[in-house]
A and B are shown apart, each in its own frame.
Chain A
Amino acid sequence: MRQYIYKKKNLDQLLSHLILIAIGIVVLLPIVLVISVSLSKGGSLKTGLIPDDLSLDNWRYILGIPYVNSLGENVVSPYPIMLWLFNSLKVSVVSAVLMLTFSTTAAYSLSRFKFKGKESSLIFLMVMQMFPNMMAMVAFYFMLDFIGQGIPALGIDTHWGLILIYLGGTPFNIWLLKGYFDTLPKSIEESARMDGCTHFQAFYKIVLPLCTPILSVIGLLTFISTFSDFILPSILLKSQNQMTFAVGIQIFVSESFASRWGQFAAASVLGALPVSLLFFSIHKYIVNGLSHGGVKG
């Protein structure tokens, strides 16, 4: 009897492993495939998962390094792929930093103070953070168009205009941060206030340093979601040199999937790797945040 149970348990485990391996293969297949396509000369997989025509041509193409192709022609990419990546990084970093700056003090205020209008502000924030900003896409378009007539640097087809629109997403960050501040004991600042600090000094010198981990996590989350956004930059950015990575690469590959597959594969790896690594570096925090209902999914 005992042996039977042991065997059955082993069989169960074996079955589990088989299922998990099968699903693991399906999960990894596209990723392995894209990496190997990016390293093959032809840009397609005729030969199997490890390309027998290993070549860095696709990578040279996207990095803007000239190379000689199979027809003996000199090739330099006419597309500013690295610039798109840089644009995305710029917009995402600036948005993340500004959003943190603006949302920290507000979240602190909501968590620590009692004031007139606090309850209604909280309800208002709650509703606002549920509103996916893409729903106002028509309004954003006309708003930037209008602002651009007065201040060209903030108009359609500018990075600062796009960043402004992202800043409208602060309610979500405020909400997350408020939740964190609520968990900090008030005694932390109270002792500082006793020593004669102003409220702002206590916040700046005592509370903020304590929050650096959660602030950086929220900053990174904002960075990732801004980097991954497609719809707003596709509406608000027009010229090729202004595009973000998401928009540029979508147009690049959609024009001709067949002939640009290899180059697109290399670009995908380049674009996905940093974000993926960032994600894994903070994934423990994300798991906590997930069960509170935030983040994509």
Chain B
Amino acid sequence: MWLSYALSISAVILAVLAIWIYGVQKKDAYKFFYPALVLFVLFSLVPISYSVYVSFTNLKTGHLLEREAVIELFKNEVMVEPGSQILNFKLYKNQSDYLIVVDNLSAGFKNNDKSATLGSTIVLPEGIVELSSGEVLDFNDKNPDFKIIHPALGEYSIYRSDMLAIVHSRYTALADGQFQDTITGENLVEDTDEGQFKLAGESIGPGYFTFSGLKNYKELFFDPATKFVFMKSLTWTFIWAGMSVLLTFSLGAFLAVILNDLQGRSKLVYRMIFIIPYSIPFFISVLIFKGMLNKDFGEINSILSYFTISPVPWLENKLWARISVLLVNLWLGFPYMLLVITGIIQSIPKSIYEASSLEGATKFQNFRFLTFPLVLRAMIPLLIGSFAFNMNNFVGIYLLTGGGPVIPDVSTPLGETDILISYTYRLAFEGSQGQNFAMAAAVSMLIFIIVVSLTVLNFKVSKLLKR
């Protein structure tokens, strides 16, 4: 509902704007800007606002329908008359002529007939075809009130694709909008907070989709079981992003310095080789590593077995899995740091080294007191950016370990290496306990808040450095 409002309101506003911009006003600026505006209103702004909205609802498996649809289901819910007889049937069709056969009785009828009265057996006409169960159900959907009148047993409806039964409504709609259960005579109780109809405390039928306020956020921070899972994943996300930045930066800086001091053209060859991992799409490299790290047939364990080292459970053990994702991410990520740091080192004026060598500084002192502080200063905004990137580095985690190894006995599925974004993915699209879109949206909002804070921090730091 909300989505259709958001999309149609945006579309109307954009259309009006288009007329104004291209028809009425004269400024070229708006004319140039408009096409991109359409895109990011429809495909950035609307989805982001919808995510915010979903995070305040209960949208998940069992609560995917609108309230009206659930009520419609109650209206249509039927039950077999107790003690009545259920009959098997077959339905045949020849163009617009139907023929229904029940035991030794049959009846012919036309497309728009409301009922058919069963009579004596007739021989099946030539060219008539039996309908499949799917076609029978289609027929029933189009003619929900169609009755088959049995001369001895009464008025039958299609109950299953091959069964007829005498049915009546399970729930009676009362004047005040409530529903009464015809068996117990009790009224259904509507729990509007949960979006669920209940009878004596038991949920009846599917729930519906409703606004639930801060419930998802409260659950993440205060429900012990959910909080445990969320905090575990949050902690690991920070460790993972922090360690990834630290490792890639260290190796990148180390290599950049060594390469910079190298004489001759060989440094170009090395640099070319070191960039290769960065040029390959990450998903391919990560999958390659997944194969190589396989405990039983992976190449890494077979290389280790040459040195009589017993197989390492790279992806199966909690600690090893964490080490593996970090090492693979080091392989993927250090070229970026190498490239950037090389650029920074090359932009440092040579004269400052000349000055320091006059003072008798050693190579290490040069690095420690000149190169490193200058590089770090220039790198801080990029390191924050890299931290934010790795926080959401779904491919680096999910394709290698699938988030696993799985932690046993937790309320929502979570693995030892799951970062927040892969946890979100699991919640929404991989649910062994159903799909919880609302909770996924809430988690992604929290990720968004972290990313925005990092961005703001980045700005502040960049401005500070420029001064």
Contact = CB atoms under 8 A, between A and B. Distances in A.
User: Interface majority SS on B: helix, strand, loop or mixed?
Assistant: helix
Interface string A64-83: 00000000000000000000
Interface in B355-387: 363, 381-382, 385-386
Interface in A227-284: 227-228, 230-231, 235, 246, 249-250, 253, 257-258, 261, 264-265, 268, 271-272, 275-276, 279-280, 283
Given A106-B37, A130-B455, A287 B284 contact: no
B46 to A, nearest CB: 7
A249 B285 CA distance: 12
B51 A231 contact: no
B283 interface: yes
A139 B42 CA distance: 12
A271 B283 CA distance: 10
Contacts of A258: 294, 296-297
B39 interface: yes
Contacts of A45: 299, 302
Contacts of A1: none
A135 B392 contact: yes
Interface residues of A, number: 90
A168 B302 contact: no
B290 interface: yes
A249 B395 CA distance: 14
A139 B51 contact: yes
Contacts of B451: 130-132, 135
A30 B286 CA distance: 10
A143 B270 contact: no
B423 interface: no
Nearest to B30: A115
Interface residues of B, number: 91
Contacts of A105: 32-33, 35-36
A287 B389 contact: no
Interface stretch (B77-85, B332-340, B403-411): B332-340
Nearest to A173: B36
A105 B22 CA distance: 15
B44 A128 contact: yes
A169 B299 CA distance: 39
Given A138-B54, A138-B437, A268-B288, A296 B389 contact: yes
B279 interface: yes
B30 to A, nearest CB: 7
A86 interface: no
A156 interface: no
A297 B291 contact: no
A27 interface: yes
Given A16-B262, A24-B274, A137-B428, A108 B32 contact: yes
A27 B281 contact: no
A230 B394 contact: yes
Contacts of B290: 253, 257
Contacts of B452: 127, 130
Contacts of B36: 102-103, 105-106, 170, 174
Interface in A197-242: 199-200, 203, 224, 227-228, 230-231, 235
Given A131-B48, A235-B429, A250 B287 contact: yes
Most buried by B among A134, A140, A174, A271: A134
A271 to B, nearest CB: 6
User: Interface majority SS on A: helix, strand, loop or mixed?
Assistant: helix
A167 B425 contact: no
A192 interface: no
A101 to B, nearest CB: 8
B115 to A, nearest CB: 34
A276 B381 CA distance: 27
Contact of B29 (A16, A109, A147, A257): A109
B92 interface: no
B216 interface: no
A101 B34 CA distance: 12
A170 B340 CA distance: 25
B379 to A, nearest CB: 10
Interface stretch (B67-75, B150-158, B441-449): B441-449
B142 interface: no
Contacts of B421: 134-135
B425 A271 contact: no
A11 interface: no
B277 interface: yes
A28 interface: yes
A188 interface: no
B91 interface: no
21 contacts: A13-B263, A30-B331, A33-B299, A34-B288, A44-B297, A105-B33, A105-B36, A110-B33, A128-B44, A136-B47, A137-B429, A138-B428, A138-B440, A143-B47, A230-B395, A268-B288, A272-B281, A275-B281, A280-B279, A291-B343, A291-B382
Interface of B: 3-4, 7, 27-33, 35-37, 39-40, 42-44, 46-48, 50-51, 54, 251, 255, 258-259, 261-263, 266, 270, 273-285, 287-292, 294, 296-297, 299, 302, 331, 333, 336-337, 339-340, 343-344, 363, 381-382, 385-386, 388-389, 392, 394-395, 398-399, 421, 424-425, 428-429, 437, 440-441, 444, 447-448, 451-452, 455
Ranked nearest first, the 4 interchain pairs of A and B with the lowest CB-CB distance are A168-B43, A297-B336, A106-B36, A113-B29
